Amino acid sequence: MANVQFQKITKSFGALTVLDELNLEIEKGEFIVLLGPSGCGKSTLLNILAGLIEQSSGRITIGDQDVTDLDPADRNLAMVFQSYALYPTKSVRGNLKFGLMSKGLSNDEIDRRISSVANLLQIDKLLDRKPAQLSGGQRQRVAIGRALVKEVDVCLFDEPLSNLDAKLRTEMRMEIKNLHNRLRNTVVYVTHDQVEAMTMATRIAVMNRGVIEQIGTPDEIYGNPQSLFVAEFVGSPSMNFIDVSVAQQGSELVGVGDQLSQAIDLRRAGLEQAPSGLSRLRVGIRPEHVRVGQNEGDRERSIRVDLPIRYHEKIGAEALAFFDFGGKRLSARVPPERVTMLAKEQTVPVDLPLEHMKFFNPETGRRV
C-alpha cells in the first residue's frame, strides 16, 4: 500500500483553481520530487499534506490512516522550509530540541536523538552556537536536523537549497541524497530546479497548472517525455522542436517541413501508426542527439539540413552551438574542441537522427 496517497485533491482560492483533482501515490522509502514552474501549485500541495493549508476537496492518507481532518501535529511528519525558520535566540541544541518538547519524551531520549542527528549531519561541534554564528550550509543542516530528530516516516522539503550558493547547493544535494540512502524514509521534495530533481529523485512528478503532467524515474522523464510541457521543461537547453505536416508519399507516411530538404519517414522514425486525422506533428529532438558538421550524413537514418550558425557557448568541458532554423533556434551539444572551428563557418551541415525523434500532437500537447 502506498505510504502517502493524494486522492482528487482540489484547492481553489476564490475563482482561482490552484490544484485540480490531483492524484498521487507515494511508496514507502521513495524520494519523490515535485518539479514544476513557479506558481504551478507545488508548495500548496506540500502544505496540504502537512496540514498547514486546507484543501477544498479530496482526501489524503498516510500509511493506512486517513489524515485529511487531522491537525498538522498529529500527522507524524516533518517539514523543512526554504527559509529554514530557525529560532534566532535559541542555540542549535535549542532549535533541535524545540520540536520534541510537546512529544512527552524523556530527557535521555531527547539527548540521544539530538546527539545522533548532530553526528549524522556533522553539526555536533556547533550545538551551543546561535543561528547567526553559522554559515548558510550549517543553518540548512540544522533545519534538516530539526526534521530528523522527530524520527518520522515522512519528511517534506520545500525548496530547501534555493538560498545557498551554487557550490554549497551541489554539496547539500549530495548530503541529502546520502542521508536518504541511509535512512530510507519517505521524502516529498519540492523544487523548480531540474538538476536537483534529476539527481535526487527516485521518481519525479512534473507539475503544470495544478495537475501532474507525468510521473516517472528521472530517466523516464528525460528520455521518454509524455507531453510537450515535460519535454520542454526538463533538459537544458530545452529539446528542439520542428513542426511538420503529415503526408502520404507512395506507401509511406511522412512528415514534411518548410525547412526540411527531405521528408521524415515516420515509420523509420519509430512512429508505426500516425494517429488518424492528425495533419500536423511537432517533432522533438534533444541537443545531444543533433549531429553537427559531419561529412557524410546517413540519409536513411537521419535528416540533413544546412543551417547558419548564430552563436556558440563553451562552458568548461561542454559546448553548445545554436543555429537558425527558419527563424527558430536549434541547439546542439558539440565537442568543445570543435565548437570554435565550427563557429567560423557560416553554414554547417546538421543531421537529425530519426531514431531520436519524439512526436507530439501540437494541439493536445500529448506524445503520439
Residues that bind ligand ATP (CB under 6 A): 13, 16, 18, 36, 38-44, 192
Whether 52 contacts 78, CB under 8 Å: no
44 binding partner (options Mg ion, ligand ATP, none; Cβ < 5 to 8 Å by kind): ligand ATP
**Choices 1-9, 43-51, 238-246, 351-359; region in contact with Mg ion by CB under 5 A:** 43-51
Query: Cell for 116?
Result: 545522533
- Smallest gap, in angstroms, from Cβ of residue 209 to ligand ATP? 9
Q: Which is nearer to ligand ATP, 16 or 315 (CB)?
A: 16
270 binding partner (options ligand ATP, Mg ion, none; Cβ < 5 to 8 Å by kind): none
CA atoms of 360 and 287, how far apart (whole Å): 17
Count of residues touching Mg ion (by CB under 5 A): 1
Whether 364 contacts 313, CB under 8 Å: no
Whether 138 contacts 161, CB under 8 Å: no
- Give the number of other CB atoms < 10 A from CB of residue 255: 26
107 binding partner (options Mg ion, ligand ATP, none; Cβ < 5 to 8 Å by kind): none
- Smallest gap, in angstroms, from Cβ of residue 360 to ligand ATP? 24
For the packed helices 107-120 and 136-148, what is the interaxial angle rounded to 10 degrees? 140
Instruction: Please compute Rg for the chain using Cα positions.
Output: 25
87 binding partner (options ligand ATP, Mg ion, none; Cβ < 5 to 8 Å by kind): none
192 binding partner (options ligand ATP, Mg ion, none; Cβ < 5 to 8 Å by kind): ligand ATP
Q: Which is nearer to Mg ion, 43 or 208 (CB)?
A: 43
Q: Which is nearer to ligand ATP, 234 or 357 (CB)?
A: 234
Across the strands, what pairs with 255?
246, 264
290 binding partner (options Mg ion, ligand ATP, none; Cβ < 5 to 8 Å by kind): none
**Choices 39-47, 127-135, 227-235, 355-363; region in contact with Mg ion by CB under 5 A:** 39-47
- Smallest gap, in angstroms, from Cβ of residue 52 to ligand ATP? 11
- Smallest gap, in angstroms, from Cβ of residue 81 to ligand ATP? 11
Q: Which is nearer to Mg ion, 43 or 227 (CB)?
A: 43
- Smallest gap, in angstroms, from Cβ of residue 204 to ligand ATP? 14
39 binding partner (options Mg ion, ligand ATP, none; Cβ < 5 to 8 Å by kind): ligand ATP
- Smallest gap, in angstroms, from Cβ of residue 105 to Mg ion? 32
Given 5, 43, 226, 331, the residue binding Mg ion (CB under 5 A): 43
Across the strands, what pairs with 9?
22
Binding interface with Mg ion (CB under 5 A): 43
